[in-house]
Amino acid sequence: MKIERIDLYHVSMRLVSPFVTSFGPQQQRDCLLTAVHADGLTGWGESVATNDPGYSYETTGTAWHILSDFLIPALVGREIAGPEALGPALSFVRGHPLAKAALDQALWDLAAQADGVSLAAKLAEPYAEGAKARVPVGVSIGIQPSLERTVEVIGQYYDQGYRRIKLKIKPGHDVAVGRAARAAFPDLPIMLDANSAFRLEDAAVFQAMDELNLLMLEQPLGYEDIYDHSRLRPLIKTPLCLDESIHSDDHARYALAIEACDIINVKPSRVAGWTEARRIHDRCRAVGMPLWVGGMLETGVGRAAQLALAALPGFTLPGDISATERYYTRDITAPFTLNREDSTISVPAGPGLGVEIDHDYLAAVTLRRESFTTP
């Protein structure tokens, strides 16, 4: 494909309600979108970098800089074989996976459109099973002001049809949260997500959670750690999931080698895109490591691509890909809705991402836009 032009957007959208994690509260959701024009088609991608360097060292500011000054100039006017060729083409920039993922996603969208198939079908070409038409999903609940409110919010989402609940925790807001949730919902799959807020010395906290029959405990220790998780895992009975620690297929290989986890959460943006995410999928599927797709409050552009990834056969656990109404009153694509009868969301079946951009609303929420073409 010949890259003719790339448009870069900085958009800002208000969340339905504040999302509170161990990093703090978030009410406004900023991200970057890329529109890559090639061969008469337009592919869309999303960088989930936010305004502050809490989850990642990348921010909307750094991602704009890396994209506009380095990555995009390296692609515009260039012939590129396809999304799998993007990694080598951009290897001169070290790190910055959230910026790179926006271009990787857009190229996968283009490749699928060129073949007249959905992104899910394009990603699933190597697998005999093909792509799933619907994927199981859950909902992630931020830290609430009280245990009573936590239980109330769980009940609200349960009534909406969600059948897997994730609760954010932090030191001092941990075991009691899990106990309150389990007492109120004895049979509901519940997981706790620490977002790297604890240390190995806090093992007793997690041992106290063993009685709760949790689906999993997600990323309790350092955001780059694999080794200490391998030491924690034998000390607890709850399945241990890695999230922030897995930045690439190599990190998945390290985690498997030292038995650091029981489950892996794959956020495609965190690993520089869908190309690397599929490599992780293949590695883990080969050894029976359960996988699920994580979320970063994406717009409909990113959510469509998440669903396509989650449709691959190795993703067997419900992902954090909730319905649009969980996050936004209006999105830049048509809303994704929850299938209440089985807690799933349908995977877009149209060519590429399978979504249409609401250009009027995109313009309304765009803070900055720049187009890049050959000189």
Q: CB-based burial of residue 342 (10 Å sphere; 0-12 exposed, 13-18 middle, 19+ buried)?
A: exposed
CB within 8 A of 204, min separation 6: which ones? Answer: none
Q: How are beta strands 190-193 and 216-218 bridged, if at all?
A: parallel
Written as one letter, the residue type at 129 is E
- Give the distance, in angstroms, between the CA of residue 301 and the centroid of all CA atoms in the same chain: 12
Collapse the DSSP code of 113 into the 3-class scheme (helix H, G, I; strand E, B; otherwise coil) and give the result: helix
Catalytic positions, written as ranges: 168, 267
> How far apart (Å, rounded) are the C-alpha atoms in residues 134 and 69?
39
Contact 9, 369 (CB under 8 A): yes
Written as one letter, the residue type at 367 is L
Q: What crossing angle do the helices spanning 97-115 and 300-310 adopt, rounded to 10°? A: 70
If one counts every other C-beta atom within 10 angstroms of the C-beta of residue 337, the result is 12
N-term to C-term CA, the chain: 19
